[in-house]
Amino acid sequence: MRTLLFYIIILSFLSSNSFGQDYALSNPFDAPILLNPANTGVQYPLRAILNYRQQWKSITNPFTTILASFDSKTFTQSNSGSSLGIGFSLANDNAGYGNLNTMNINLHLSGKVMLNDNQTLSLGICGGVMQRSIDINKLTFTDQYDGYSYNSSIGIGESFATEKRLVPDIGTGIQWSYGRGAATLSSNDAIGAQLGFAAFHVNMPNTGFQEDADKRYIRMVMHGSFSYGIKNTPFQLNPSALVEMQGPARMYFTGLLIKYRLQESSKYTGNLQNRTFNIGVFYRYGDAITSAIQLEWDMFVVGFSYDFNISMLKEISHSRGASEIFIKYIPIKKQLANRLL
């Protein structure tokens, strides 16, 4: 019955003139240049991130998402602090029995200007290709049920122009950032904030498999985050919020990450980066509650999160949603260790 329900959902998706929706993450802020191309190369000389997500394993073949991104600050004007950034991203999303696959490969470019000593404004663009494919032979359709059982000799009642489509894809974004103070064990008076807006699939590429055009809806993202160091303590609070709109779909996200500083950078030991242990709770409206744990250790950040499903599917999934891991590599220099901009 669960499998049949899944097939009906997939059939509804394929049979309608619906516009495709993008993947979701437990915490979109863990993939910054995929959240907003204006994040590309604006903070660190170099950064590489790998994300892996598995969802709906308790219902059907799991949906898996793999993200890889790299960005670098390529040019900085010493007198003004303005800089250029370049990056690369790959996103591969695979869904269910029919191997419904969406892959994006993008080049990211950005420019950042200093508004004053504490504020910056950055603009970014990303462009590349999107490939969408499906294996029709692995799907069953309601027309193939003869009233008693599934019969593969019955036609599916659907026509497909192609099982694979490759199209250009373009996105853009803008972000304002603020930062002051230092995140140290002795003072810990750092304050930072970011507000951004991004739009993806602005060219609305046709990603459908049928003869009728099935254009991708533009995905609009509005996001904000804040960091606040509690003075004379090793704690830092990092609340964040996001609103995402893509066609009729809406996603509202909010949460809090608490950082506990284990050790700060030292000019005597050669330890160039702070070490922190982080825990967090996030909420996607009507969908899931997420618990997260992270460890920042020198040049690496490793994180794990788990989604507890609270949607209409919770009776089938038994509240089991998605598990997600990520690893970041940031070979930061000592003089930039506490910089927020």
CB atoms within 10 A of CB 286: 11
**Over pLDDT 90: what percentage of the chain?**
54
Q: Provide the CB-side half-sphere exposure for 254 (13 A, CA).
A: 3
CA–CA distances in Å: residue 208 to residues 135, 141, 265, 278: 14, 18, 51, 41
DSSP state of 40: T
Identify residue 318 by its one-letter amino acid code.
H
Residue-wise DSSP of 191-249 = EEEEEEEEEE-TT--B--SSSS--BPPPEEEEEEEEEEE-TTSSEEEEEEEEEEEETTE
Task: Give the span between the Cα atoms of 93 and 131, in whole angstroms.
Answer: 10
* Average pLDDT across the chain, whole number: 82
Kindly state the tokens that stand for 126. 């990303």
* Choice among 95-104, 181-190, 287-296 with the minimum mean pLDDT: 181-190
Task: Give the span between the Cα atoms of 87 and 47, in whole angstroms.
Answer: 9
Which helix (DSSP H) or strand (DSSP E) does residue 334 occupy?
none
> What pLDDT digit, counting tens, does each position of 314-336 carry?
555 555 678 999 999 998 754 44
Task: Give the span between the Cα atoms of 10 and 13, in whole angstroms.
Answer: 5
pLDDT confidence tier of residue 309, bands split at 50, 70 and 90: confident
Contact (CB, 8 A) for 298 and 29 = no
pLDDT at 155 over 70: no
Which helix (DSSP H) or strand (DSSP E) does residue 14 occupy?
helix 2-15
Length of the chain: 341
pLDDT confidence tier of residue 127, bands split at 50, 70 and 90: very high
End-to-end alpha-carbon separation of the chain, Å?
A: 53
Task: Give the span between the Cα atoms of 154 and 79, in whole angstroms.
Answer: 72
Task: Give the span between the Cα atoms of 79 and 43, in whole angstroms.
Answer: 17
CB atoms within 10 A of CB 81: 15
Q: Among 220, 258, 259, 227, which Cα is nearest to 242's?
A: 220
Phi, psi of 283 (to 5 degrees): -135, 125
Alpha helices in the chain (DSSP H): 2-15, 32-35, 314-317
pLDDT confidence tier of residue 55, bands split at 50, 70 and 90: confident
Mean pLDDT, to the nearest integer, of 61-80?
89
Contact (CB, 8 A) for 291 and 303 = no
Kindly state the tokens that stand for 11. 């059939």
Mean pLDDT, to the nearest integer, of 100-104?
91
Contact (CB, 8 A) for 223 and 193 = no
Q: Report all structural domains of the chain as residue ranges with CATH numbers, in order of start.
A: 2-336 (2.40.160.40)
